[in-house]
Chain A
């Protein structure tokens, strides 16, 4: 198995792409720190059943991404476990769909706080650990909206472009320390987030994509498995679009 014996952190594993990652990473043999904002009984039950199904260890990591005290406590839990961290998958994020002229400063601040600043701070903590190990792979989830300029995505796209810029700098600064950093840019993916977009826009995007369909969350997750694994040992500072050839 591609990730046999590896230990990874994945954020936002309670639903959508993150939930699919939980499954794909477990299927490929990884032990997982599974992050969710809130530790509900359903979440604990879910991760336990995945752990049992694939015979891997899955430990919950519950904190609000923007609660930096709680984040610090979670990092302490990881540190004191003495379990090495082979890969960090920054998947959790939020979106609003709003036209440029209609985007409020609160939306701007909120999206940048969750999609960029919290990712930045959390990655700083984990990179400290990886630097000590002299090894690690960081996989950040960005979006085709960071590159293509989609209507209604001026804020979301900007937060995701910021993630790409950050990732490239991490790759440049930390490559010599054995740390790789890459992004995945999903296009139209069948998740709850898709419901925030107008139906006509989604239909048009699917109809013009080379593959003529939207992506499944598991298809994004499988590229994350690849980037987390040693199969991508000479790939760093890259963004892989997993978008079915969207135009």
Chain B
């Protein structure tokens, strides 16, 4: 199996792309620290089942990306057994859509806290064991909005653009030490986040798409798995669009 024996930290496991990534990683043999904002009964049951079915260890970690202290606490919890960490996937994120002229300072601060500041802070902690072992793979989730621009997504696109710049810089600093860093830029994926896209905007996006359909969360998860695995051993500093060919 592609990820046999690897240990991965994945954020945003409650739903969407994060959930699909957790599932795909478990099915491919990875042990997982499954990070979410809060606990639900459904989630607890799901990971119990997933772990049993695939004979992997899945440890839930709950914390709030708005709260720096809780991020630090979570990182400490993950590190308490001094397990080696092979993969970090930063998926958790949010959007607050508003036109450029309407964006508020609060929206900017909130979205950047969740989509950028917290990602860097959490990565700083989780990369420590990777530096000790001299190997690892980090995957950040960006968006095609960051690359193409999308009306109403000024803050979201900017925060996801910041993650591309972070990815390149992290790669330049960390790849010499054996840690590869890449980003994935999903297009329109069938998740709660895209359920709010207005129908006319969806039609416009689909008419530009080569594959002419929305993507499934699993299809993004599979690309993340490629970047996490040895299949991509010479790929670093890259942003891979998983968008069915939009734009």
Contacts and interface: CB of A to CB of B under 8 A. Distances in A.
Contacts of B232: 222-223, 226, 242
Contact of B223 (A215, A235, A237): A235
Interface stretch (A36-44, A70-78, A79-87, A170-178): A170-178
B234 A220 contact: yes
A37 B172 CA distance: 40
A66 B202 CA distance: 45
A235 B232 CA distance: 15
B234 A216 contact: yes
Given A210-B172, A211-B175, A175 B211 contact: yes
A58 interface: no
Interface residues of B, number: 34
Contacts of A219: 233-234
Interface string B210-223: 11100110011011
B217 to A, nearest CB: 10
A231 B225 contact: yes
B226 interface: yes
Interface string B51-85: 00000000000000000000000000000000000
Contacts of B196: none
Contacts of B231: 222-223, 225-226
B166 to A, nearest CB: 14
B230 interface: yes
A236 interface: yes
A237 B245 contact: yes
Interface in A191-247: 210-212, 215-216, 219-220, 222-223, 225-226, 230-238, 240-245
A231 B222 contact: yes
B224 to A, nearest CB: 10
Nearest to B24: A231
Interface of A is mostly: mixed
In the complex, which of the residues A175, A210, A236, A238 has the most CB atoms of chain B within 10 Å of its own CB atom? A210
A235 B240 contact: yes
Contact of A234 (B2, B180, B215): B215
Interface residues of A, number: 33
Interface string A120-133: 00000000000000
A207 to B, nearest CB: 10
Contact of A223 (B2, B211, B212, B235): B235
A242 B240 CA distance: 11
Interface string A20-62: 0000000000000000000000000000000000000000000
Contact of A231 (B176, B180, B226, B234): B226
B152 interface: no
A121 B2 CA distance: 35
B223 A245 contact: no
A26 B44 CA distance: 40
Interface of B: 2, 171-172, 175-176, 180, 187, 209-212, 215-216, 219-220, 222-223, 225-226, 230-238, 240-245
Interface of A: 2, 171-172, 174-176, 180, 210-212, 215-216, 219-220, 222-223, 225-226, 230-238, 240-245
18 contacts: A172-B245, A175-B210, A175-B244, A180-B211, A211-B175, A219-B234, A220-B234, A223-B226, A223-B235, A226-B226, A231-B225, A231-B226, A232-B222, A233-B219, A234-B215, A234-B219, A235-B223, A242-B234
Given A216-B234, A226-B226, A238-B241, 19 more contacts: A171-B210, A171-B245, A175-B245, A176-B210, A210-B175, A210-B236, A211-B176, A215-B234, A220-B234, A222-B232, A223-B226, A231-B225, A234-B211, A236-B245, A238-B240, A241-B235, A244-B234, A245-B171, A245-B172
